[in-house]
Amino acid sequence: MNIIITGGAGFIGSHLCEFLLNKGDNIICVDNLGSGDRKNIKEFEEKENFVFIEFDITKTLEEFEKILENKGFVGENKINQIYHLASRASPNDYQEFPVETALSNSLGLNNMIKLSMKHNAVILFSSTSEAYGQPKVHPQPETYWGNVNPVGIRSCYDESKRFGEALLMAYHRKFNAKVKIIRIFNTYGPKMRKDDGRVIPNFIQQALNNNEITIYGNGEQTRSFCYVTDLVEGIVKMMNSAEIGPKNLGNPREMTILECAQKVIDAADSNSKLIFNSLPEDDPTKRQPDISSARQFLDWEPKIEFEEGIKKTIEWFKEN
C-alpha cells in the first residue's frame, strides 16, 4: 500500500513509519520539521519504500500534489491511506506556535481530506484526550463530550482537534469520505524530544542529571501513560478496521504526577529531590482513558507496563 504519514518525522509519526515499513508498505513521510526531527527517520531514508517530503501541509493542496507527482505518484487512486499526525502536541510547543497548531488541525487537515477523497483513500486523524478538557466524567469514554475552555491557552490545540473531528464527520456525512478518528492519551517512549517540556522528558533528564524534579502544582493531578509501540499498534488496527470512531487509544493505568516522578527516580537510580512549581493554567486535574471500545472492536489493549517502558525510554535518553 502507498501510505502518507503527515508528521512522520515526529515522535509518534516516526514509530508509525517504522511499523508500516516493516510490514512492507510504501511510506510517504511528510513533515515541515516544526517539532519533528529528521534524525527520527534517518535510518529509514535509505530504504526504497520510504520517501521524505519536507512540506507544510497548511500550504495549498496543489503545491503538495505537484511534489507528489514529482515523486512518481501521478494521477488519482495512487494513495491508499493517510495518517494525519502533523501537529505540535506538547503544551510548551503549541503555546509557542498557537496559530500553526490550530491551522495544522484545520486547514492542513482539510487539504489531506480532499486529497484522500481524490484517491479514494482512508484518512485517520489523530485527535487527543485534550478533547475532554477538564473532564467531569472519569475515566473518559468516547461518549463524553468534554469540558474545554474555548479561549484558554490550550484552546489552539484542544479546539482545533475538536474542529478537526467535526470537519471529518462533515465530509463523511455529506460526501461519504472514508474517515477515522482516534483520541490519543499521554504517550511516551524513545524519540521524544528532550526539550519538548512534557513531563516524561523533563523528569528523565532531571533524574539522569540528579537535578531537582519539577512538580507543577501539588503533583496530585493524574495522567495515564501509554508506551509508544503499544499506541502504534492500536493506530494501525484502527486504520484497518471498519470503525470510524472517535476511538480512545491509551493506557488506562492512571497515576499521580508524584507517583510518576518517584517511578522515574527509581528507574534512573537517581538522587534527585522534588521541587514544587506553580501549576500551569487549565492543566487538567485528571485523565484516564476508558478503552472498552478499542478492546471490543479493535481487539487492542496496551501490553507494556510503565516500569518496563520507562526503563527503555531512559536507556534511549542516555544513548542519544
- The cell numbers describing 200, all together, are 516524561
Choices 25-33, 58-66, 144-152, 215-223; region in contact with ligand UDP by CB under 6 A: 215-223
- The cell numbers describing 79, all together, are 494513495
In order of 3, 45, 181, 191, 258, the CA distances from 320 in angstroms are 29, 19, 33, 9, 26
Task: Please identify which residue in the block is written with the cell numbers 511516551.
Answer: 188
Residue of 94, 157, 171, 227 marked catalytic: 157
Binder of ligand UDP out of 97, 144, 216, 297 (CB under 6 A): 216
CA distance 20 to 24: 6
Instruction: Evaluate whether 61 touches 114 at the Cβ level (below 8 Å).
Output: yes
For 74, residues 6+ apart whose C-beta sits below 8 A from its C-beta are: none
Cα torsion 268, 185, 86, 70 to 10°: value is 90
| Beta carbon nearer to ligand UDP, 169 or 255 | 255
**316 forms part of the interface with ligand UDP (CB under 6 A):** no
Binder of ligand UDP out of 202, 272, 293, 313 (CB under 6 A): 202
Active site residue 157: yes
**126 forms part of the interface with ligand UDP (CB under 6 A):** no
**131 forms part of the interface with ligand UDP (CB under 6 A):** no
CA distance 309 to 317: 12
**199 forms part of the interface with ligand UDP (CB under 6 A):** yes
For 224, residues 6+ apart whose C-beta sits below 8 A from its C-beta are: 185, 186, 250, 251, 252, 253, 254, 255, 287, 288, 289
* Residues 273-302 interacting with ligand UDP (rule: CB under 6 A): 279-280, 283
* Residues 256-275 interacting with ligand UDP (rule: CB under 6 A): 257
Size of the site for ligand UDP (CB under 6 A): 14
Least distance to ligand UDP, CB of residue 95, Å:
10
Choices 80-88, 216-224, 230-238, 240-248; region in contact with ligand UDP by CB under 6 A: 216-224
Residues annotated as catalytic are: 157
- What does the binding site for ligand UDP look like in residue numbers (CB under 6 A)? 91, 186, 198-199, 202, 214-216, 221, 223, 257, 279-280, 283
